[in-house]
Amino acid sequence: MQLYPLKFKPILKERIWGGSKLRNELGKSTQAPNIGESWEVSAVPGDISIVSNGTYKGDSLKDLIERYPDEILGSNIVKRFGSDFPILIKFIDAADDLSIQVHPNDKLARKRHDSFGKTEMWHVMHADPGARLLVDFKHALSPEEYQQHLDDNTLLELMNEEEVKQGDTFFINAGKIHAIGSGVMLAEIQQTSDLTYRVYDYNRKDADGNTRELHTEQAMEAIDFSAEHDFKVSYPQEENICNLMVNSRYFTTNYLPLNGHLNKDLSQRRAFSIWIVVEGSVHLQTEGGSLKLRKGETCLIPAAVNLLLLEGESARLLEVTI
The reported pLDDT for the residue numbered 206 is 78
What structural domains does the chain harbor? 6-233 (2.60.120.10), 243-321 (2.60.120.10)
Rounded Cα–Cα distance for residues 244 and 294 (Å) = 22
Residue type, 275: W
Q: What is the mean pLDDT of residues 10-27?
A: 96
CA neighbours closer than 13 Å in the CB half-sphere of residue 31? 0
pLDDT in the model for residue 37: 98
CA distance 80 to 142: 36
Residues 157-180, mean pLDDT to the nearest whole number = 98
Q: What 3-state class would DSSP assign to 51?
A: strand
What is the Cα 317 distance to its own chain's centre?
Answer: 14
Q: Kindly report the average pLDDT of the chain as a whole number.
A: 96
Residue 139 has pLDDT above 90, yes or no: yes
More confident residue, 210 or 11: 11
- Choosing from 23, 110, 132, 198, which is the catalytic residue? 198
Question: Tell me: the pLDDT tens digits for 6-15?
Answer: 999 999 999 9
Q: Is the pLDDT of residue 205 over 90?
A: no
pTM score over 0.75: yes
Report the pLDDT value the prediction gives residue 116, as an integer from 0 to 100: 94
pLDDT in tens, 232-260: 999 999 999 999 999 999 999 999 999 99
Least confident of 9-13, 204-208, 224-228: 204-208
For the stretch 115-136, pLDDT in tens is 999 999 999 999 999 999 999 9
> How much is the average pLDDT of 137-163?
97
Over 90: is that where the pLDDT of 293 sits? yes
The secondary structure of 13-47 as a DSSP string is EEEEEEESHHHHTT------TTEEEEEEE-EETTE
E strand or H helix at 220 = helix 216-222
The region of weakest confidence among 5-14, 21-30, 38-47, 197-206 is 197-206
pLDDT at position 1 is 85
* pLDDT confidence of residue 24: 96
**Ramachandran assignment for 35, one of left (phi > 0), alpha (psi -120 to 50 degrees), beta (any other):** beta
Exposed e or buried b for every residue in 177-208, given b needs 16+ CB within 10 A? bbbbbebbbbbbbbbbbbbebbbbbbeeeeee
Average pLDDT over residues 166-177: 98
pLDDT at 207: 75
pLDDT tens, residue by residue, 63-103: 999 999 999 999 999 999 999 999 999 999 999 999 999 99
* 220, pLDDT greater than 80: yes
Q: How confident is the model at residue 33 (pLDDT cuts 50, 70, 90)?
A: confident
269 part of the active site: no
